[in-house]
Amino acid sequence: MTLDAYLYGDPARILERKQQTALKKQQACTGCIHRIRYEIGGEIVVVCVIKRTAAKRKCELYETERD
């Protein structure tokens, strides 16, 4: 098995980078009414209902609940 280029180096930094990426994905679109979380095979996936793709960052469709 070969490793991707970004996986070479200090294992602690690689783990930290992976954790930061996972945290950013988890916080993507926080508070948006179009965001839905699914658990598929033990992994949590955050999806935008409008774009029908993984929610990666805040976009122009971001909306919060209206009172």
Taking CA atoms, 63 is separated from 4, 16, 27, 67, in Å, by 37, 31, 15, 12
The mean pLDDT of 55-59, rounded to a whole number, is 70
Residue 67 has pLDDT above 50, yes or no: no
Q: How many CB atoms lie within 10 A of CB 58?
A: 13
The 3-class SS string of the chain reads CCCCHHHCCCHHHHHHHHHHHHHHHHHCCCCCCCEEEEEECCEEEEEECCCCEECCCCCCCCCCCCC
Question: How confident is the model over 17-56, as pLDDT tens digits?
Answer: 888 887 877 777 777 888 888 888 888 887 888 877 776 6
